Amino acid sequence: MLVAPDKFKGSLTAGQVAQHLAEGLHESDPGIEVRVLPLADGGDGSVAAALGTGYRPVTVPVTGPTGHPATTTIAFDGTTAVVEVATTAGLQMLPAGRLAPRESSSIGFGQAIRAALEHRPARIVLALGGSATTDGGAGMLSALGAVFTDRSGRPFTPTGATLDRIADVDLTRMVDLEGVELIAAIDVDNPLLGPNGAAAVYGPQKGATPDDVEVLESGLGALLRRLWEAGWPAEAAAGVPGAGAAGGLGWAAMLMGARMVSGAGFFLDLLDFDTEVAGCDLVITGEGKLDTQTLAGKLPLVMARRATPVPVIAVVGHNALGVDNLPIHGIKQVHALSAMTEADSASDPELSAALLRETGRTIARTLAPVPSSTETAHAL
C-alpha cells in the first residue's frame, strides 16, 4: 500500500498527513505493508516533498516579501535544485499574516535562485504556488541582476505599487543561466493582464481592494513596456497560459527561458511516483479540500489517473463536492475529516492528526478479509 498525500494547507504538511495515516493503518493491522510518499504540486510543500525523497537541504538567508530578514530552504540532489515561492515570497512569510498586496516583493525568491546557482545545478525547478505579491517578478529579477531605475536615474527594487515608477531597466548584469534548465511548475493558466490576469483574479486573494487591483494592473502593464524596451519579448509572453501565475512570476520566468509545466504531473515524475506505486494494491492520497478545483486537475486527480488500475482512496480535510467516491476519476472512496467532528480541524493540527489516525484505522478495517465459514468453524 502507498500513502501519497498532498499537504493539508494551514494544518499539516504532506509528510505529517502521510505519517498519521500510516500510524492508524498499523494500529489496526500491524502486519500491513505501508510505503509513504509525501507529494506536492508546485505550491508550498514542494521543497519538503523533495527532501522527503532524498534531496539534501540547503539553508539560505533571504529578504521576505515585505523586507524583513528570513531564512528559506532549497532542496538539492547534486543535479536538480527545487526553489519555492511559498517560503521566500509567500503568504506564509508575511509578519503576523498581515497581507501586503501593494508593498510586497518577490526579491527573496530571486535571492534563493541565485543561491541555488552557486551549487552549479543542471536544473532548477521553480515552484510558483503560494505567492504574496503581484510584482510581475520584478523583485526576483532585481535579485538576479536586473537594475531598475526611476525617472531620476536612481536604482530601486520595485514592489507591486511602484512598478509605475520604473523608467528604465538594465538587463546586462543578469546572472548567467547558460547551461541551466529552468522549469516553472504551475497549476494555473491565467495570462499576465486583463480580467483573467494576475492582478484581477489573484490580487484579491492577497488582500487587494478594487483600487489596489487597478494599481497592480497598471504597474504590470508598465513593467511589460519597460522590459519590452529592454529587449525581452515581454508582450508576446504576457498572453501565454500561466504567465499570471504567482503574481506574474510565471511571465518573468518565461522571459528568463523557463519551461512551463503542470506542477502536479511534474512533481509526480520528480518524486518517482510511478516506481513507488508499482506492485501496490492500494493508494491513499489526499489534500486539505476536495472541490471543483480538484476536478480541474489538482494533484489527487492527476495522481489517481496515473495510478490506474490500482484503486485509490482519498482522505481530505473537507469534501465540498458532497460525494463519497469519484469513480470516473479513479477514486473509489472519499473520507473527510470535517464529517468526523463539529470542530474546525483545519485550524487544529492535533485534531487533524487524531482524525487521520482514526481514518487510517477505519480504512485498514475495511480492507481486512472476511473470515470464511470454514475458518469461523475452526475458530469456534
Three-state helix/strand/coil letters over 338-374: HHHCCCCHHHCHHHHHHHHHHHHHHHHHHHCCCCCHH
* pLDDT tens-digit readout, 258-300: 999 999 999 999 999 999 999 999 999 999 999 988 887 789 9
Q: Which residue has the higher pLDDT, 174 or 295?
A: 174
Return mean pLDDT, the chain: 93
Where does the chain hold its CATH 3.90.1510.10 domain(s)? 46-264
Percent of the chain with pLDDT over 90: 87
Peptide bond before 309: cis, by omega within 30 degrees of 0? yes
Pair type for strands 69-76 and 80-84: antiparallel
C-alpha cell belonging to residue 91? 503568504
Handedness of CA 185, 186, 190, 193 (dihedral sign): negative
* pLDDT tens-digit readout, 231-245: 999 999 999 999 999
Q: What is the pTM of this model?
A: 0.90
Handedness of CA 16, 20, 25, 27 (dihedral sign): positive
Strand order across the beta sheet in which 283-290 lies: 35-36, 2-3, 283-290, 312-319, 331-336
Q: CA-CA distance, 327 to 309, in Å (whole number)? A: 12
Alpha helices in 278-348 (DSSP H): 292-295, 299-307
pLDDT at 369: 57
Q: Show the beta-strand stretches assigned E in the chain.
A: 2-3, 35-36, 56-63, 69-76, 80-84, 123-127, 147-149, 168-170, 181-186, 259-262, 283-290, 312-319, 331-336
* pLDDT tens-digit readout, 204-253: 999 999 999 999 999 999 999 999 999 999 999 999 999 999 999 999 99
* pLDDT tens-digit readout, 314-341: 999 999 998 999 999 999 999 999 999 9
Region 76-83: what's the mean pLDDT? 98
Q: CA-CA distance, 8 to 22, in Å (whole number)? A: 16
Name the band, by pLDDT with cuts 50, 70 and 90, for residue 368: low
Handedness of CA 230, 123, 133, 68 (dihedral sign): negative
C-alpha cell belonging to residue 291? 472541490
Where does the chain hold its CATH 3.40.50.10350 domain(s)? 2-38+281-373
**How would CATH label the architecture of 2-38+281-373?**
3-Layer(aba) Sandwich (3.40)
Q: Residues for the chain: how many in total? A: 380
Alpha helices in 29-100 (DSSP H): 46-52, 86-89
Q: Show the beta-strand stretches assigned E in 122-186.
A: 123-127, 147-149, 168-170, 181-186
* pLDDT tens-digit readout, 46-66: 999 999 889 999 999 999 999
Question: For 46-264, which CATH superfamily applies?
Answer: Glycerate kinase, domain 2 (3.90.1510.10)
DSSP symbol at 202: I
